[in-house]
Amino acid sequence: MFNNIVRVLFQKNFQATASMTTTAALRINGIRKEKPLTMDWMVICIGAFEVFSLFLSKYRANSLRGVEAVLISVLAYFIARFVLWKPSPAVWLAGSLGVAGMWFSFLGVVQFSGEVERLKGTGFTDLLAFRSRLMYPIPGWLPGECFTALLLALPFACAPPIYIWRRETIPHRRVYAATALLPAVLICSALCLSLSRAVFWGMVLFFVACFALMVGYRVVALIRGRSLLVGALLGSSMVLTCTGTFYPVVFRAYVGAKTSQVRSTKGRVDIWKRSVKAAKENPILGVGSSNAALFLLSTSDPEETSGFASRPFSLPVQILIEKGIVGLGIYVVFVLLFCIEFHRSMLSRQFPNIESRHLSKRAMREREQLDATQSAYKAMKCCFAAGLIAVLFRELTYSSLFEHTVTMVLTLMLAALAIARKGGTA
């Protein structure tokens, strides 16, 4: 019954839920009046390109779902940019998504345990060969797509404790921050049980990038940032050790190269070679959204036994096949603009530099509180940006962002929240 409820939420009522959330956010926060950034126009350009490419798609009916996902994601991006622009709503949104990720991670861990016991009961000991069926907590999704969604949920789960920890005006903030880390711990546990090297190292890259950005933009001091990074990596190691104690297959998955992993790598390389050859047939605008697998299947050799493609297994390759050189260029520009806008937002100040002797005591106290809020908000934005880095790293060897509306929405919302400027007072 639970699976049916989740399927309804993910497949049928997503638009209605998004509409109600938008209405509630508008009533609470209102629409922020801000001059659009260059990146905002690029997001509109992405939506327009997807609609235009629909008319040139080779399999138009199959492209409707992909175009719809992109358009809903564009709407979610602007909701995050102009509606959820204060720190408090952003924290509550991140916390809600983190709790959702924690719930699905818990379901995944329970499912993993049940599948392992069932396989052991039938006499199978090499669990790596069955890793594609050990955990898929979201009904109707492939395991790799579930891991991408959990990796996207990780920065949302880490953002609230980071924000609370940096708000020095909150009493007992360290206790609250440690308690708020529970969703992130459960998500990390599920990612360790993925038995996927790309997912695991993407998780490690997230923590490294997060604290590197904090130190680089002077949100925290170098010594403190180094200590936090060591603590995060030690915490991840403890989670890996705990899961590996119960399931030794976890250690074997990330050490050395097993037969199934070598076969998987070889298959991906063969698929990439075929994909590049297929992309040359429609180099300008591609074959249309969500059509890469169909096109590769239609152009495959019936006698070929290597490189069967259910997907391109690389996000850049998928974009090249489906959207051509033009679409690939648009998305590359989008990533570059994101880097520029994130850098500018981290350098911008909420309040002008005024000497303390020109301020009253009350104004000084208010400014200290506002400075603490700004520092906490910048720390949270580093977390969002690190999440994007980790997901894009994982997508170099997998292609799932365009497969579901949820993953596209989470990706663009991460981008919107990471470039927010002047986050307000609360």
Whether 13 is covered by a domain: the verdict is no
Whether 372 is covered by a domain: the verdict is yes
At residue 221, what is the residue type? A
User: Are 148 and 395 within 8 A, CB to CB?
Assistant: yes
Q: What is the pLDDT along the chain (426 residues), one digit of tens a residue?
A: 444 434 444 444 444 444 444 444 444 444 555 678 899 999 999 999 999 988 888 888 888 888 999 999 999 999 998 887 678 888 999 999 999 999 999 999 899 888 888 887 787 767 777 777 788 888 888 888 899 999 999 999 999 999 888 877 777 788 888 889 999 999 998 998 888 888 999 999 999 999 999 989 988 888 877 777 787 778 777 777 777 777 777 777 777 656 666 777 777 888 888 888 888 888 888 888 888 888 877 766 655 555 455 678 889 999 999 999 999 999 999 999 999 999 998 887 654 444 444 455 555 555 556 666 788 888 899 999 999 999 999 999 888 899 889 999 999 999 999 998 755 445
Q: What's the CA gap between 348 and 115, in Å, rounded?
A: 50
Whether 383 is covered by a domain: the verdict is yes
User: Are 287 and 322 within 8 A, CB to CB?
Assistant: yes
Q: What's the CA gap between 140 and 142, in Å, rounded?
A: 7
Whether 425 is covered by a domain: the verdict is no
Phi-psi label, residue 249: left if phi above 0, alpha if psi -120 to 50, beta otherwise: alpha
User: Are 192 and 250 within 8 A, CB to CB?
Assistant: yes
Give residue 257's domain range: 34-349+361-418
Whether 27 is covered by a domain: the verdict is no
Q: Domains in the chain: how many in total? A: 1
CA-based end-to-end distance of the chain = 40
Residue 59: both structure tokens together: 């399999």
Whether 5 is covered by a domain: the verdict is no
Q: Measuring CA to CA, which residue among 37, 41, 52, 49 is closest to residue 328?
A: 49
Q: Measuring CA to CA, which residue among 401, 426, 399 is closest to residue 415?
A: 401
Whether 287 is covered by a domain: the verdict is yes
Length of the chain measured in residues? 426
User: Are 413 and 76 within 8 A, CB to CB?
Assistant: yes
pTM for the full predicted model? 0.85
Q: Going by C-beta distance under 8 Å and a sequence separation of 6 or more, which residues neighbour residue 25? A: 79, 83, 84, 89
